[in-house]
Structure 1
Amino acid sequence: MVQFKTFVQPGRVAVVTKGPELNKTCMIVEIIDQNRVLVDGPLTGVKRQPMNLKRLQLTPILCKFSHGSKTVAVTGAWKQNKVEEKWSKTMICKRIKRKEIRSKLTDFDRFQVMIARKKRSALLRDAAIRHSLKKKSAKKPAGKPAAKKPVKAKK
């Protein structure tokens, strides 16, 4: 069984999912109560402020520093742990970038994407059919053919 590992803790990097700082990364500096935390994102444009946990999505990235640290310490930990590099490799970041690209598509671009998806699914379907036919032909033994029943002679 897989254990849950992304806890709310000082040093945890999170993504803002609602509000004016949408899709910006920040770091949890202090836990205020069960619903709110103090966040700071000095290199991403998120000011030091209390934020509701419902507005945050936690990431697996964690930095070590003491809770309640000042912005200078947060910036140092951010740079030392190379958070930007780690962030760009996460699935959350890739999903956000993919959504941004899709939202900027024109009508013709969406049409081209639809045609490309149809072609891709047709190729996958054909490959799956060929694969299943190979499996069926491999199951049949290449020995003697089955004996036929003798035909009765008419009188």
Structure 2
Amino acid sequence: MPFKRYVEIGRVALVNYGPEYGKLVVITDIVDQNRAVVDRPDETRRVINFKRLALTDFKIDIQRMAKKKELTAALKTNDVFTKFQQTAWGKKLAARVSKSQTTDFERYKAAVAKSKRSKAVAASLAKLQKSAK
């Protein structure tokens, strides 16, 4: 299968380092071989290094250095952010965030439930093994 995630104008990327970690941005211009101008509807346009970006499969059709209004309209018509959250990558990130926001008591309840479940599985397995002999 050929490579399809090229650095190009309109490519949606995920910031993988820094204060904007986990946010989706759109490449609006390419500065040089190491940096690109990225934009997002609720943030300011800025230059970011390619090492801090993870390219996604999504691409929107925008012009180079598109205005905020055009970018917002293109994102809304393509519904990119919700499509990304429905992918396995988006679900994994959402699960990581939800797990990090759990309290001590919620983690305790999950551990107790896992322990009960594994004991029930072990008991039923022992019962099947005993009946198989």
Who is 2:55 aligned against? Answer: 58
Alpha carbons of 1:31 and 1:95: their partners in 2 closer, same or farther (altered >3 Å)? same
Who is 1:48 aligned against? Answer: 45
Who is 2:70 aligned against? Answer: 73
Who is 1:10 aligned against? Answer: 9
Residue by residue over 1:115-149, the C-alpha shift from the partner in whole angstroms, topping out at 9 and shown as x without a partner, is 3334555667788899xxxxxxxxxxxxxxxxxxx
Shift of 1:21: 1.8
Output the aligned Cα RMSD: 2.9
Q: 2: CA distance between counterparts of 1:7 and 1:114?
A: 43
Choose between structure 1 and 2 for higher RCO, CA contacts under 8 A separated by at least 6 residues: 2
- Tell me whether 106-115 or 47-56 shows the greater mean CA deviation: 106-115
Shift of 1:28: 0.6
Who is 2:38 aligned against? Answer: 39
Who is 1:27 aligned against? Answer: 26
Q: Which runs of 5+ in 1 are unaligned?
A: 131-155
Q: 1: CA distance between counterparts of 2:55 and 2:126?
A: 42
More helix as a share of residues: 2
Q: 2: CA distance between counterparts of 1:28 and 1:122?
A: 51
* Conserved? CA contact 2:24–2:81, under 8 Å: no
Shift of 1:10: 0.9
* Conserved? CA contact 1:26–1:46, under 8 Å: no
Q: 1: CA distance between counterparts of 2:77 and 2:112?
A: 45
Residue by residue over 1:1-21, the C-alpha shift from the partner in whole angstroms, topping out at 9 and shown as x without a partner, is x32222211111112222222
Who is 1:113 aligned against? Answer: 110
Residue by residue over 1:60-108, the C-alpha shift from the partner in whole angstroms, topping out at 9 and shown as x without a partner, is 1111122232222212211121113212212222122211211122222
Q: Is residue 2:84 matched to residue 1:87?
A: yes
- State the identity as a percent: 36
Output the TM-score relative to the length of structure 2: 0.79
Alpha carbons of 1:56 and 1:111: their partners in 2 closer, same or farther (altered >3 Å)? same
Who is 1:96 aligned against? Answer: 93
Shift of 1:50: 0.6
The one-letter amino acid paired with 2:69 is V
Alpha carbons of 1:125 and 1:66: their partners in 2 closer, same or farther (altered >3 Å)? farther
Count of matched residue positions in the alignment of Structure 1 and Structure 2? 132
Alpha carbons of 1:118 and 1:4: their partners in 2 closer, same or farther (altered >3 Å)? farther
Alpha carbons of 1:69 and 1:95: their partners in 2 closer, same or farther (altered >3 Å)? same
